[in-house]
Amino acid sequence: MVFLTALGDLKRVANLYFLFLVVLNWVPLVEAFQKEITMLPLVGVLTIIAVKDGLEDYSRYKMDKQINNLLTKVYSRKEKKYIDECWKNVNVGDFVRLSRNEIIPADMVLLYSSDLDGICYIETAGLDGETNLKQRQVVKGYAEQVSEIDPEEFSSRIECESPNNNLSRFRGFVEHSDTDRVALSKDNLLLRGCTVRNTEAVVGIVVYAGHETKAMLNNSGPHYKRSKLERRVNTDILWCVLLLILMCLTGAIGHGIWLTRYSEIPFFNIPKPDGKSVPPILGGFYMFWTMIILLQVLIPVSLYVSIEIVKLGQIYLIQNDIDFYHEKTDSTIQCRALNIAEDLGQIQYIFSDKTGTLTENKMVFRRCSIAGREYCHEENAKRLESYQEMHSEDEDSADCQCGSSAHTSEWHRHNCRAVCEPLNRKSVNRLSGSYPAFIREGGAGGGPQSGHMAFSSPIETDVIPDAQLLEKFSQISFHSYQQSEEASSKLSLETMYITDFFLALAICNTVVVSVPHQPRQKMRLSSLGRMPIKSLEDIRQMFQRLSVRRLSSSPLPSVKESSSESPSSFVRKLSIFKMKLASPALNGATQRAGEPHNTDSPENSQVPQELDTVNVAAGCEPSNAVSSIELSPLPKLYYEAESPDEAALVHAARAYKCVLQSRTPDQVTVDFGGLGSLTFQLLHILPFDSLRKRMSVVVRHPISNKVVVYTKGADSVMMDLLRTASEEIEEKRIKERTQQHLDDYARRGLRTLCIAKKVMSDAEYAEWLNHHFLAETSIDNREKLLLESATRLETDLTLLGATGIEDRLQEGVPDTIQALRKAGIKIWMLTGDKRETAVNIAYACKLLEPDDRIFTLKSQSRDVCALVMSKILEDIQKNASAKKKPRQKLGNVSASPSTQAPGFSAGLVIDGRTLEHVLHDSLQNIFLELTEKCRAVVCCQATPLQKSVLVKLVRSKLEAMTLAVGDGANDVSMIQVADIGVGISGQEGMQAVMASDFAVSQFRHLRKLLLVHGHWCYTRLTNMVLYYFYKNVTYVNLLFWYQFFCGFSGTSMTDYWILILFNLLFTSVPPIIYGVLDKDVSAEILMQLPQLYTMSQKSVAYLPSTLWITLLDAFYQSLVCFFVPYFTYYDSDIDILSFGNPINTAALFTILFHLLIECKSVTWIHTVVIVGSILCYFIFTLAFGATCKTHNPRSNSYWIMEKHMTDPVFYLVFLLTTCVALLPRYLLRVLQGTLFPSQLLRAKRLDRLTPEGQRESIKTWKAECNVNDRGESQVTSVSFSSAAGAVSEEESIDNVLPTSKTPFQACSRDGLVEDTSFLLDIQDDSSSTNCLNSKKTEFLNLSKETNTDTFADNNSCAKVCVCASESSAVSLAEKAGLNSLLCEEDALL
């Protein structure tokens, strides 16, 4: 491995160059040094790299060896039993038996589980960091086995797709001996690296082993990205190579001329043994290669090693910055990429996710709408406003008193206690240094358990119900629900809507139920243990349940046979491929479980008293008047959800006593207040995906015995799936009112979801099931077929209601975004939420400002989209040209350098459908031109693929440095495409973190990571690189100038050992310390003045001119270092090496003191290293001169340094040389600091002031920048004041987000007012309005459908909307300027 690493390092340009020199020096005709000396630089560099990589490889080897030798139970066909086998010996086709808490050794299909329902719970923290349990199911047909599967009797054939790294997909099928096929999916696959939980024993057959497992295919090793600076260094090294060639050509030509002039003198042209002399041309050719060997130091071979060491030092400082530590999660920054730290200082674009990145990803249930009526949950809103997560028991009790004072009812007293108890436990656990952890499972060999469950903080789990809705909910009983299905009155219809709404919240999810005192144990209602057996009727019901289980042991029907059977028979046989249908006997038992309650009793008129006690009797009546069975209370339930939205909805349903009790592969049990415990037969789950943007569950309702589809999803897709053919007046009213509520929720910054249902007959379900079975058993195009199947099912839905969930902003997000924008960084927000929600969050986090002019780009066709973007560009360019002259009078201080129009601030909002058009090749350029003129871009309803394409587009087309930040799996592709990917270690697992280059716990940490460490890393590294080029050119030129005095013979006036070690040892450590510790401006100043970031962003420290100025300075210093000693010892009898010794010494002092001049902050470490380098040089030369008398046969360096140490002229020479060489550089820095100080020098002086003086200076600096901003705002508002037509007054909405109020609210559809005066503003040089009108029909024909977001019936050129509160409507309109919502019809007038 070390050898392979060395070969990999030889791919670098400089290393290849030195390998070429080693080989070249072995040619006798061009040999310049001893062969061993030439090999020294390359061997030294490769040795250091090999040692570093060897240590890493050894630690990796030990870890691999430990993992490969882990033991697992594998079935041996020779011994007819399971034996212990190492992981490395597990092969495809082996049967593996695992117990609880064991790690899965290979990817295997689950064939047996000790769980009665055929479930295996796994923890995927080893793959994606998610600690919540995931369900995996035994392959259909094997789930109902009474005993463990016998490998000897397994005769089926498994066919699956080729190994791939897609963790979320698995396609295949099991073919039995009778050619019947059963589909395989990811729900049947146990992945390597996961841990078995809550299951005593599982058996699976291995389908992928070793390096073919999905976990190994995803572990491609450390991802390597080349930084922008490294690419630039490679380019500059090529310039050095060109310079080297020129110098060698000069030497070759000079040597040829020398030989021609002295051709008759044998001393200069020694004949060959045959008496012939070497021709001058051939001698010049040989000398060219000799000069390359002699001047090889011009190429800085040690630069790459120094860069690696400096980067490690910079990463160490970043990781140990205490400001990145997040106490709440006990996490700090992770630097996963070690070679791109300097790119942090050059970021131009930031692409950010919204949920979990800008927000906390703590979903809090705020509002809901059911049957067109809104329930505001005001008491819950008051609790959230005053809610704070306490860190001590005193604060917890104070919060309880506050919460209980709001309501004096018995229910609220219990709810307050439920809020406080988790907080108290949390406080105690934090004091003990641990998180709230579940109790470990007993027994030896218990595996590691996760101590934290996501989406379970009290602010997320505790919901105060709306009093009005709670009253309606408490009146629901068995009789009232049945009447609501039969009757059509408004009251009965509302009862049905409320019931189905909360049932959908409780069961339309994949939430796992567990109990706290037995951690990670699912809450399961066994078919044999749901109630005490006290009568023959109970025994009869028990056998009826067992008969359902026997159903799965029947032969598997083929597709051909099923096509000729009746629908009911087909459904009954085919149901085992997914979930079992209820038999009539079981349905009757279930119906009896839901018999009417005694609604007159006080117990049924109120909500049950204890929240932590749930009724789980499945075969008995819940009323005491009907049944005498005593209910034993069960512990409080914990819900483990895959997303925070699911958890929020389940907890909201639980607050209304619609409690999710258990979930198995074939049933879901819900305790629904007055209806008692309802067990739904779970037929199918259609999971959420980014294309459908919805999720559905298909169940058989226990009361109606009908197949019901419950669906939840985004309103942008759900509204199109509702019934349209035979809509009743009431349904239309519900749809309209619900849409109004959704728009209001979005304006408040809430995440919205629509809830709907559909009732199917058995015949309809059987027909759909037939198509779905074919899609499931297909390997080719399975995703497409399943999508079509889901689309076929999710149509003609009945809208039940909608929910509004709040996701609060993270701490410090607005300040961070403001600082980053002042630093000249453009920020794009890419989110899947709807437009109104995204825009309001953008205002709340100050991504958009009230002064910004917002353009909403939304169109249904590519041509119309192009026209709209052209109109926006014309308008922006027109206003930019109008403001060009006023801006010039504002001064030269720029707060945020940007490419947008001067004096103009615009924002662009675009949705996912329009993104499909603008990402087309024909529209990419105009889209990028438009975004460059906007200070912020908000992309809403964007898919993960669109996010990555946007990042790639900006990176490649604009050649800009990009940073992508996200927290979930949907952000992985975007993170990997960007120059720098940052993962937020939030609540949605660790997929984003594992794919990222840097991982932080909060978005606000980006501020210091970029503005401080990014600036430092880039500035330090560029200065160090320039210094390396300087010192190498300086030293090499000493040898070059000497060639003019030795006939260009390739002779050196310095011993070869000193020549090689000068750059490799004597002057290598100081620049490394310089690159790690130099600090031009303190962190405090960089944080307070983000404008300084533009210095590194624009590569001011490493411009092409800077490199050539540095090289010219190196040439000058080399001339001084050579010719001052030359004229000092002119006409003396000093020998060659004695002449070279003062030159070397003067060059050493010049190069090291040059570094001191360039250092911005000299510490004791710098002093120690420089003094140590000087001492090292003198010690080596003294020792070398005393011991190596005849080391070099061509010269004798014996006692040279010792003689010079006693000569005063020697000291005078190198001191005078050093002063003369450094004088221009020193004077330049002095003049630059006094007469022409840069922003960085001005900022550095602030560190020397007193605290009060520093504050005043910073305030003055910021005021200069704000003058420019205010001037731009005034010009903008004055220009657009004539364009505002009317103001739509809306209800003032305060506290849209708790962290930051939204200063500007998005407009409702009813509040828009047409303003035709805007025609004059947007159509600057267009021919006429009629010309545009003539194109309207043409473009509308190109569009397949009209814009769904058109706000008025008639077509206007623009709808101008400025929304404000009642108190300051007009002033805010003037301040906001003109916010244009340009839609498809806007450009067609």
Q: How many residues does the chain have?
A: 1389
* Calpha distance 416→397 (Å, rounded): 10
* Calpha distance 358→982 (Å, rounded): 13
Where do runs of H (alpha helix) occur along 1235-1328?
1239-1246, 1251-1280, 1318-1322
Structure tokens given for 532: 């005490």
Helix (H), strand (E), coil (C) string for 914-972: HHHHHCCCCCHHHHHHHHHCCCEEEEECCCHHHHHHHHHHHHHHCCCCEEEEECCHHHH
Residue 108 has phi, psi (to 5 degrees) of -140, 150
* Calpha distance 982→645 (Å, rounded): 24
Maximum Cα–Cα distance across the chain: 132
C-beta of residue 303 within 8 angstroms of C-beta of residue 233: yes
**Radius of gyration, CA atoms only, the chain:** 38
Burial call 1109-1125: b when 16+ CB within 10 Å, e when fewer: ebbebbebbbebbbebb
Residue 113 has phi, psi (to 5 degrees) of -140, 140
Structure tokens given for 666: 């074939």
* Calpha distance 1238→663 (Å, rounded): 66
| Residue whose C-alpha is closest to residue 184's, from 596, 779, 601, 1012 | 779
Q: How many CB atoms lie within 10 A of CB 760?
A: 17
Q: What is the set of active-site residues?
A: 353
694: helix, coil or strand?
A: strand
DSSP 625-693: TT--PPPPP-PPPEEE-SSHHHHHHHHHHHHTTEEEEEEETTEEEEEEGGGEEEEEEEEEEE---TTT-
Structure tokens given for 1063: 């750059």
| Residue whose C-alpha is closest to residue 857's, from 901, 899, 907 | 907
First to last CA, the chain: 69
The two counts, helices (H) then strands (E), for the chain are 50, 37
C-beta of residue 670 within 8 angstroms of C-beta of residue 677: yes
Where do runs of H (alpha helix) occur along 1249-1378?
1251-1280, 1318-1322, 1329-1342, 1369-1376
DSSP 34-94: -HHHHHHHHHHHHHHHHHHHHHHHHHHHHHHHHHHT-EEEEEETTTTEEEEEEGGG--TT-
C-beta of residue 797 within 8 angstroms of C-beta of residue 603: no
* Calpha distance 158→156 (Å, rounded): 7
DSSP 1005-1050: HHHHIIIIIIHHHHHHHHHHHHHHHHHHHHHHHHHHHHHTTTTT--
Q: CA angle, corner 645, sides to 641 and 649, nearest 5?
A: 90
Q: CA angle, corner 152, sides to 149 and 154, nearest 5?
A: 60
* Calpha distance 1001→334 (Å, rounded): 9
Token match 């399961």: residue?
Answer: 524
* Calpha distance 1168→1184 (Å, rounded): 24
